[in-house]
Amino acid sequence: MAAAKKLARIYYRLAMAALMLPAVIAAAAADRPNIIFILADDLGYGDLGCYGQKRIQTPSIDRLAAEGMRFTQAYAGSTVCAPSRCSLMTGLHTGHATVRGNKKPETGLWPGEPTVAALLKNAGYYTALFGKWGLGGPGTGSVPNTRGFDRFFGYLDQRHAHNYYPEHLWENQNEFFLTANWFDQKKEYAPDLFTQRTLAFLQHPPATPFFLYLTYTIPHADNELGTLKGNGMEVPGDEPYSGRDWPAVEKNFAAMITRMDADIGRIMDILKAGGRDRDTVILFSSDNGPHKEGGHDPDFFDSNGPLRGIKRDLYEGGVRVPFIARWPGKVAAGAVNDYVIAFWDFLPTAAELAGAEIPNGRDGVSIVPALLGRRQADPGTLYWEFHERGFSQAVRMGNWKGVRLDVGGKIELYDLRTDVSEVNDVAAGHPETVESIGRLMETARFDSPEFPVTPRKR
């Protein structure tokens, strides 16, 4: 009899636990924010009003910064697209990452390589990507739906993403034909489609927390078609700059940034209208520094601000990017943070926000303390390598920045506290620092057969 009563009590407790489980899950979900990461393409540090831009109008992104935190020392994963996105998705810098350059990015990620999307999906998040993937083409096994994304709509590879009016995009693993763009028609502007998908997604969000990765191709040049026509900046209209006495390519460049900015404003508004504003972290950044492609001159708008270099350089202008975080009630409004962060910090940050375990061997650290205004641990050393035009490397160690432009070449040294423009090479006066940075350049990486170390072309 006693055994029967004991068994009955066990059954009762199990039944009560089962009844309580949905409430427990709901409570856990309420403690874990939705995460939206909006990534621009080739947007420079100086292209936004909140980072000093005077002529291009970006009121929505400026509002994002005014209502959140603006980082002044944030770094992309690389100075070009594919490796930068690889760092963002995997938490690895380019000395350890699978994809270390735009050369052969269609090979994609290693089988089984952890990604932010897979980590969050395993933690109970619904995951969606609208826009440019860039880490594996059709048939590679490294497409968004095999790397943790429940839903995907956009471009798979870089070359395809150079066309703002494509004849098709990908919806999950199927082609989505845009017949309105066939036969050289230009009626369906791809960034508009990404915004439409995003707004529809936010209008009817999943019941679980979600991770939305929105990757605009703005303001990348249309290198495949636009350059041949002398204007690689394609946009449906050049408003509100039509009357400016600027070259057409620069009107279009500014117009596409302002168009993206307006779409980001719509995203913020729909979150607020749906009551999900305070439950959602929005992160905004760019995948690398400003480009000089498709007829665009980055000096026209001073796109790199006070920084030296542009896309494909390892100087600050090539890798330092705008980075904004907004989370009402959690991230202080109007905050400016000079803590040093990099793209490989996103994976551990997302893991902490989601209550997930961080995979071993990642290069990044969670910046949740910095977001919440708490004391943040030292970021340690930052490392980049780049394989176009030969092999170059850069290291940031504290406020020291070392740059080496060729295999075995001289290491340039800059003190970023006093020389953010990297004008004065002080290597001769600090041989011990140069030696330390040289050792880091050797030990912070391992060789990749896909991206061999080759001397710079003369």
In terms of domains, do 419 and 366 share one? no
Residue 456 lies in a domain: no
Q: Are residues 395 and 297 in the same domain?
A: no
The domain boundary, picked from 378, 408, 431, lies at 378
- Nearest-angstrom CA–CA distance, 78 and 288: 6
On whether residue 454 sits in a domain, the answer given is no
User: pLDDT band for position 239 (50/70/90)?
Assistant: very high
User: Please, what is the average pLDDT of the chain?
Assistant: 91
Instruction: Give yes or no: residues 221 and 154 share one domain.
Output: yes
372 shares its domain with 398: no
Q: Which among 253, 229, 232, 233 is positioned nearest to 241, based on CA atoms? A: 253
Residue 343 lies in a domain: yes
Does 203 reside within a domain? Answer: yes
Residues 298 and 397 in one domain: no
Query: Are residues 166 and 124 located together in one domain of the fold?
Result: yes
Asked, for residue 23, whether it belongs to a domain, the answer is: no
Helix 248-273 to helix 190-203 angle, to the nearest 10 degrees? 10
Helix (H) or strand (E) holding 350: helix 346-354
Regarding whether 404 and 343 lie in a shared domain, the answer is no
Residue 195 lies in a domain: yes
| pLDDT at 223 > cutoff 50 | yes
- Does residue 17 belong to any structural domain of this protein? no
Could you tell me what percent of the chain has a pLDDT over 70? 91
CA distance linking residue 66 with residue 56, whole number of Å: 17
Tell me the per-residue pLDDT of 445-455, one tens digit each, with 9 for 90 and over: 999 999 999 99
Q: What is the DSSP string of 139-150?
A: TSS-SGGGTT-S
Band the pLDDT of 31: cuts 50, 70, 90.
confident
Domain boundary residue among 339, 356, 378? 378
Beta bridge partners of 118: none
**54 phi, psi to nearest 5 deg:** -105, -25
Say if CB 152 and CB 143 are below 8 A apart: yes
CATH of the domain at 403: 3.30.1120.10
Query: Do 178 and 90 share a domain, yes or no?
Result: yes
Q: What is the mean pLDDT of residues 415-430?
A: 98
Report pLDDT for 456: 85
- 414 with 368, same domain: the answer is no
Report whether pLDDT(19) > 50: no
Asked if the model's pLDDT at residue 257 lies above 80, the reply is yes
Give the chain's domain count: 2
Domain boundary, last residue among 325, 353, 378 = 378
CATH code for position 150 = 3.40.720.10
Half-sphere exposure of 352 (CA within 13 A, CB side): 14
Residues 350 and 263 in one domain: yes
Q: Do residues 107 and 224 both lie within one domain?
A: yes
Helix (H, G, I), strand (E, B) or coil at 40: strand
The mean per-residue pLDDT over the stretch 270-293 comes to 97
pLDDT 10s digits, 357-413: 999 999 999 999 999 999 998 889 999 999 998 999 999 999 999 999 999 999 999
**Domain that includes residue 420, residue range:** 389-443
320: in domain: yes
Q: Which two tokens stand for residue 31?
A: 């403690």
Same domain for 302 and 241, yes or no, is yes
Residue 170 pLDDT: 98
| pTM metric for this prediction | 0.92
